[in-house]
Amino acid sequence: MKKYWVPAIERADSILKILANHPRQYRLIDLSNELNINKSSMFSLLNTLEDLHWVKKEKDGTYALGLAMGMFSASYFHQLDLVEIFHQIAPLYVERIGETAQLAILNDKHIFYLAKQESQSPIRIATDPGMTLPAHAPSLGKVLLSQFTYKQLIELYPDEPLEPLTPYTVKTRQALWEQLQYIKENGYVFEQREATKDFYCVAAPIWNYENHMIAAVSFTMLEGSWKEKKERAITEILNLANHLSEYTGHME
């Protein structure tokens, strides 16, 4: 037994974890059997948790998380700042891959750059926090557009060809849609000189605790580096995106 350990709190924690994953599925007897806690103790635990609004009892006798847990969750995630978290975490991945990382969100048909963590490379990327780019061209934008249906994409881009940023920018909605399907299947996307003529990028989504895509993160590099680092860049961008998603409460 750990010093200063409180078994009742540990039991309450076990109850809350079950209800978080299986709301409205467990009655008192089910929780008692699942956690090997006698019915008398389970009754006391549930009664206390219910009075505190940590759990609520449904009409059919099953239990779910209560209002207080929702308030705790909202307060916790409100205090998190994605940009601050990015600046805490991204340097590790930038050092590993030796390329610049960027963070962006979607604003209508454009991406809005929130943050940038530069590498030690003498090559500097022109995009900075506060700048915008059309979403269909950069890998960050493609990731963020992947949450849309085909109908929503057509409504967002009623006209063709799509605005070219370089000679390599995707031109049609169908070609863009195919890129978005790649993201859904693989969890990342790369673009080759579509947004900036000399640069290659790979990006992945950041998810929140409600399983909503809230942002995207990318690595950007020159062609020579891309040929050398492509596979490592894919691995590291997925790791970085997952790491950031964990901090915003996403659970796979």
Residues 45-77 pLDDT 10s: 999 999 999 999 999 999 999 988 877 776 665
Q: With 90 as the cut, is the pLDDT of residue 148 above it?
A: yes
Q: How does residue 78 score in pLDDT terms, banded at 50, 70 and 90?
A: low
Q: How does residue 79 score in pLDDT terms, banded at 50, 70 and 90?
A: low
- b/e code 100-109 from CB counts within 10 Å (16+ = b): bbbbbbbeee
| pLDDT for res 217 | 98
Average pLDDT over residues 197-202: 93
**Planar angle of CA 22, 244, 215, nearest 5 degrees:** 95
| pLDDT for res 1 | 56
* Other CB atoms within 10 A of residue 95 CB: 11
Question: Residue 67 in contact with residue 53, Cβ under 8 Å?
Answer: yes
Average pLDDT over residues 210-230: 92
Average pLDDT over residues 208-212: 86
> How many percent of the chain have pLDDT more than 70?
96
Q: How does residue 101 score in pLDDT terms, banded at 50, 70 and 90?
A: very high
Q: Supply the mean pLDDT for the chain.
A: 92
Does domain 80-247 fall into CATH 3.50.50.60? no
Choice between 63 and 248, residue whose per-residue pLDDT is larger:
63
Q: With 80 as the cut, is the pLDDT of residue 22 above it?
A: yes
Q: Which residues contact 215 (CB under 8 A, 6 or more apart)?
A: 82, 103, 104, 105, 114, 144, 205, 206, 244
Strand intervals (E) in the chain: 55-57, 63-65, 100-107, 110-117, 132-134, 189-192, 199-207, 213-222
The string of pLDDT tens digits covering residues 104-137 is 999 889 998 999 999 988 778 888 888 889 999 9
The dihedrals phi and psi of 39, each to the nearest 5 degrees, come to: -60, -35
Q: Alpha-carbon torsion 192, 197, 203, 205, what sign?
A: negative
Q: How many residues does the chain have?
A: 252
Question: Residue 222 in contact with residue 50, Cβ under 8 Å?
Answer: no
C-alpha to C-alpha distance for 66 and 19, rounded to whole angstroms? 10
| pLDDT for res 120 | 86
| pLDDT for res 155 | 94
Domain ranges of the chain: 7-75, 80-247
**DSSP reduced 3-state for 102:** strand
**DSSP reduced 3-state for 103:** strand
CATH architecture observed for domain 7-75? Orthogonal Bundle (1.10)
